[in-house]
Amino acid sequence: MNFDLTEEQEMVRDTFARFLDENSSSARVRAALPSGFDPALWRGLAELGAFALRVPEAAGGLGLGLFDAAIVLEEAGRTLASGPMAEALVAARLLAQLGGAEDLLGRVIAGETVATIAMRDIADLPRQWVAGGLVAEVVVARRGSDVVLVTVPAEARVAEDNLASTPIAEIDLAGLPATVLGSGDAALATFAAGIEEWKLLISAALSGLSREALKMAAAYAGERKAFGVLIGTFQAISHPMADLICEIDSGKLLVWKAIRSIADGEAEAAAQVSLAGWWTAQAAARTVTQAVHTFGGIGLTIEHDIHLYNLRAKAWPLVLGDPEQLLAEAGRRLYAGETTSLPDAGAVPIEFDLGEEARQVQKEIHEFFAKNVTDEERAKFHYSWEGHNPRIHKKLVEANLAYLQLPRDVGGRGLSPYAVTAARDAFEEEGWNNPVASVAQMVALIMHRFGTEELKQDVLARVMSGDAICSLGYSEPGSGSDVFAAQCRAIPDGNGWKIEGTKMWTSGANLTDYVLMLTRTNPEAPKHKGLTMFIVPLKAEGVTVQAVHTFMDERTNITFYDGVKIPDSWRLGEVDGGARTMAASLELEHGGGFAKVQRVMLEEAVELCRQIPVPGGARLIDQANAQGRLARSYANYLAAELLQYRANWAQVEKKANHAYGPMTKMFSSERFTTDSRDLLDLTAPWSLSKRKGPAGAINQDYRHAHGTTIYGGSSEVHRSMIAEKGLGLPRTRA
C-alpha cells in the first residue's frame, strides 16, 4: 500500500507549483482575460517541459507516466492556468504516437504552436466546440476511420463571450485543411486512448481547483465574524465543507485508482476513467457553489477571485458535454460490455494492494467457514448482535481468527491494518459481520492495559478463550453520542462500588456476560474529568435488560442498574480517569467504514437487476437508467474503499492525522444510506419483499443503512471532526 509520491515526482510537483504560483497568480489569470490564454505562461510551461511530459523519449519528449502528468495538472487546476493544458498534453502525445509531423511536434513541445484535440468525430459533427480553439493552430481529430491533423487559420478562430472566458471556439473542422496522421483500427485506438487520457487529466485539474476553492472558503470562515462569532463555528457552514472535502479527496483518489487499474490491466479500468471524470466534475461544481455561498455577497463580485474558480469549474469539463453522460458511459462499460482503448499509464508509484498477509488471512477465513459452518447456521447470520453464534465464535477464537486487531501481547493475532481490512471483507463475503469479536477485543485491550490481576483472571481470561463476550455501556438516554455527558453513577461502597443509573443502546446486553461501562464518579468535576471505567457483570443482581427493537431487524437494549455491587478490583484505570482509559481503545482504530457492506449491496443489486424482467423480454440490467445508477453505487463504494485504504496507510506510516478515519466512517455511512435508498427504488417492487435472496438483501440493506450514520458516532460529530482537523476550521462544538 502506498499513497506517497516518489522523490522525483515531488520535485516535479514542487517545481510546477512554484512556477504556477508566480506565473498563474490571480492577477495573471485576470490579465489573460477575456481570451483566457496567457502566451508568456505557455512559453514558461514549455520551458519546464510541460508539453513534453507524455511524449516518448524517442520522439524528443520526457517519456513520463500518466500519473506524473496528473500531478502537474492538479497544480494547473489549483492555479487556474490560462490555456488548454490537458488538451495540449494529449495532442502532443498523439502527434508523437501517430508520427508524420515531427517538425510540428517540436514546435508544440517548445510552446511555439498550440495544439488541441476535438472531442467528437468530425465526420459526424463537423462543427463543434473545441477547447483552446481560439488560440490553437492545429487540432488532432477523428474523421471516420482516420485520425487527422486539422490546420486552423486565424480567421476560423473567432472569439465569443463564454461562461468562464476560456479560449474555446466553435469551429467548422470539416471545412479546413486536414492531413491524415493514421487510419484504421490502430490509429483509432490511439486516438480513443487519448480521449480517455484527457478525462483523467481534466479530472486531476478539477481536483486541484476544488481543493483550492474549498481552502479559500475555509480560511474565510475562520476569519469572518457574524453575530459576534466566527462563521466557521456554525455547523451550517462547516458541515457542508466537511462533506465536500470527502468528495474532493475521493475524486483525486478515483483518478489515482483509474491510473493504477490501467497499469494493472484491470477489467474495470475504463469504467473507472469515466467515473473519475463524472465524479470530479460534480464535486467541483458543488464545491465552488458552496465556496461562493460561504463568502456571501463578496463572493458574487468580480473583484473576488472565488468567482473565477466557480466559472472554470464548470467550463473545463463541459467542453466534452454533459458530465452525466460519463456516468452513463461507466454504466455501459461495467454492465453492458462496452470497451475502449486506454492509454499506457507508465510507472505508477501509488499502490492499493493490501499485501500477502491480507491474502493469507482471507484464505484462512474462507477455508474456516467452508469447513466449520453449516447451511443452517448460515441462514441465521445477521449483521447485528443477533447474528452471534457461540459455537462459531469459540471456533474462531481457537483458530486465531477472532481477535485479529488485538496486539499479540494481549493474546490477539496482531495483524496489520491492511490485513484487518482484508479480513473484514472476507467476513462480509461469508455473511459473518456481527460486532461480537470487535467489541470483545476492544474490552480485552482495556482490561489488559488497565485491569487488576484479579480482573484479568476472572474476566479477561474468559473473554480471550471465547467463553464470554462483552457489551459497551457508553451511551445514555440523555447524552447519545456525547458519551462524556454520562450520568450513570458509581458510588463508593465499602471496598467496592455501587452502580446506579441507566444506559441506552446497550446492544447485545441480552446475550453478553459483561459490559464495559463509563460512569460518573465525581459530579463536581468538569465533564471529562469526573468519569471512571468499570467492568460490570450483566448477570448480577440489580441489572435489568429491556429490549428495544428497531426496524432494522436489530435488537438493542436499555439497561437499568439498581445498586449493582462490584469490587474495586473491577475498576479500569484511575478514579476519575475514565477518559484516559477509554482512549486506549483508539489503538484498534483503523479507519473502518462500510465499504465492504456497500460492495456486497451492489453485488446483490446487480444480481437482482439481472433477474427482473422488463417489457420486450429484456432484463432491468439492460436498461441505461439501471446501468447508470449501479455505476453510481459502484463509484460510491470504490471511493469509500479508497478513503479507508488511505486511513489504513496513514496509520501504518504514521502520517499526520487529517481526520482520515472520521472521513471514512462518515462518507461511507452516508453513501451507504443514499445508495440503499436508490437501489431499493431501482429494483422496486421486487425489493419490497423480504424473501430470501437479493430482493430481501436489498430490503434489509435499506433498513440497516439508517443506523450506520448514528452508531459509532453520528455523522454530525464526524463532520465537526473533519472540519476541524481536515480543513482547520474553528471548533463547532461547545
Q: Rounded CA gap, 93 and 115, in Å?
A: 11
Q: Rounded CA gap, 702 and 696, in Å?
A: 10
166 residue type, one letter: T
- Helix, strand or coil for residue 527? coil
- The answer to whether the peptide bond before residue 615 is cis (omega within 30 degrees of 0) is no
Q: Which residues contact 196 (CB under 8 A, 6 or more apart)?
A: 270, 273, 340, 341, 342, 343
Q: Which residues of 445-456 are buried (b: 16+ CB within 10 A; e: fewer)?
A: bbbbebbeeebb
691-721 pLDDT, tens digit per residue, is: 999 999 999 999 999 999 998 889 999 999 9
The distance in angstroms from the start CA to the end CA of the chain is: 38
297-321 pLDDT, tens digit per residue, is: 999 999 999 999 999 999 999 999 9
Q: Rounded CA gap, 285 and 288, in Å?
A: 6
**Contact assessment for residue 94 and residue 191, using Cβ atoms and an 8 Å cutoff:** yes
Report the candidate in 237, 210, 235, 232 with the shortest Cα–Cα distance to residue 222.
Answer: 232
Q: Rounded CA gap, 692 and 394, in Å?
A: 28
Give how far Cα 248 sits from Cα of 67, 324, 353, 733, Å. 18, 18, 22, 24
Q: Rounded CA gap, 486 and 484, in Å?
A: 5
Distance of alpha carbon 440 from its chain centroid, rounded?
Answer: 28
Q: Which residues contact 360 (CB under 8 A, 6 or more apart)?
A: 419
Distance of alpha carbon 627 from its chain centroid, rounded?
Answer: 21
Give how far Cα 416 sits from Cα of 409, 508, 648, Å. 15, 28, 9
Q: What is the pLDDT of residue 733?
A: 60
Q: What is the pLDDT of residue 732?
A: 80
Higher pLDDT, 589 or 557: 557
- For helices 715-727 and 660-682, give the axis angle rounded to 10 degrees: 130
517 residue type, one letter: M
Q: Rounded CA gap, 27 and 357, in Å?
A: 53
**Contact assessment for residue 704 and residue 472, using Cβ atoms and an 8 Å cutoff:** no
Distance of alpha carbon 113 from its chain centroid, rounded?
Answer: 39
462-482 pLDDT, tens digit per residue, is: 999 999 999 999 999 987 767
Q: What is the pLDDT of residue 657?
A: 84
Q: What DSSP string runs through 622-665?
A: GSHHHHHHHHHHHHHHHHHHHHHHHHHHHHHTT---SSHHHHHH
pTM given for the model: 0.96
Distance of alpha carbon 416 from its chain centroid, rounded?
Answer: 21
507-549 pLDDT, tens digit per residue, is: 999 999 999 999 999 998 887 789 999 999 999 999 999 999 9
Residues 419-425 have a mean pLDDT of 95
Q: What is the pLDDT of residue 568?
A: 97
Q: Rounded CA gap, 417 and 436, in Å?
A: 19
Residues 493-512 have a mean pLDDT of 96
Q: 523 exposed, middle or buried (CB, 10 Å; 0-12, 13-18, 19+)?
A: exposed
> Residue 591: pLDDT above 60?
no
Q: Which residues of 478-516 are buried (b: 16+ CB within 10 A; e: fewer)?
A: eebbebbebebebeeeeeebbbbbbbbbbbbbbbbbbbb
Q: Rounded CA gap, 276 and 514, in Å?
A: 47
- Helix, strand or coil for residue 140? strand
Q: Which residues contact 656 (CB under 8 A, 6 or more apart)?
A: 650
> Residue 584: pLDDT above 80?
no
The rounded radius of gyration (Å) of the Cα atoms in the chain is: 29
Report the candidate in 294, 241, 224 with the shortest Cα–Cα distance to residue 728.
Answer: 241
Q: What is the pLDDT of residue 586?
A: 65
Which domains, ranges and CATH numbers included, belong to the chain?
A: 191-335 (1.20.140.10), 356-434 (no CATH), 448-588 (2.40.110.10), 595-727 (1.20.140.10)
Q: Rounded CA gap, 665 and 553, in Å?
A: 22
For cell 490485513, the residue is: 419
- Helix, strand or coil for residue 76? helix
Q: Rounded CA gap, 507 and 515, in Å?
A: 10
Q: 110 exposed, middle or buried (CB, 10 Å; 0-12, 13-18, 19+)?
A: middle
348-394 pLDDT, tens digit per residue, is: 999 999 999 999 999 999 999 999 999 999 999 999 999 999 999 99
Report the candidate in 662, 639, 670, 482 with the shortest Cα–Cα distance to residue 590.
Answer: 662
Helix (H) and strand (E) counts in the chain: 24, 16
Length of the chain, please? 734
Q: What is the pLDDT of residue 482?
A: 78
Give how far Cα 659 sits from Cα of 130, 568, 596, 652, Å. 41, 37, 20, 15
**Contact assessment for residue 718 and residue 665, using Cβ atoms and an 8 Å cutoff:** yes
Q: What is the pLDDT of residue 190?
A: 98
> Residue 734: pLDDT above 80?
no
Q: What is the largest CA-CA distance in the chain?
A: 99
Give how far Cα 345 sits from Cα of 46, 59, 117, 220, 352, Å. 22, 17, 20, 39, 16
> Residue 75: pLDDT above 70?
yes
Residues 646-661 have a mean pLDDT of 93
Q: What is the pLDDT of residue 546?
A: 98
Q: What percent of the chain has pLDDT over 70?
A: 99
Give how far Cα 490 sits from Cα of 150, 341, 534, 539, 573, Å. 82, 67, 9, 18, 14
What is the β-pairing status of strands 178-183 and 146-151?
Answer: antiparallel
Q: Rounded CA gap, 384 and 404, in Å?
A: 19
Q: What is the pLDDT of residue 701?
A: 97
Report the candidate in 8, 6, 19, 11 with the shortest Cα–Cα distance to residue 45.
Answer: 19
Q: What is the pLDDT of residue 129?
A: 98
Q: What is the pLDDT of residue 410?
A: 92
Summary mean pLDDT of the chain? 96
Q: What percent of the chain has pLDDT over 90?
A: 94
Q: Rounded CA gap, 464 and 473, in Å?
A: 20
Report the candidate in 568, 573, 498 with the shortest Cα–Cα distance to residue 540.
Answer: 498
- The answer to whether the peptide bond before residue 685 is cis (omega within 30 degrees of 0) is yes
Q: What is the pLDDT of residue 53?
A: 98
**Phi then psi dihedrals of residue 497, to 5 deg:** -140, 160
**Phi then psi dihedrals of residue 163, to 5 deg:** -50, -50
Q: Could you tell me the pLDDT band of residue 15, with boundaries at 50, 70 and 90?
A: very high
What is the helix, strand, coil percentage profile of the chain, to 5? 55, 10, 35
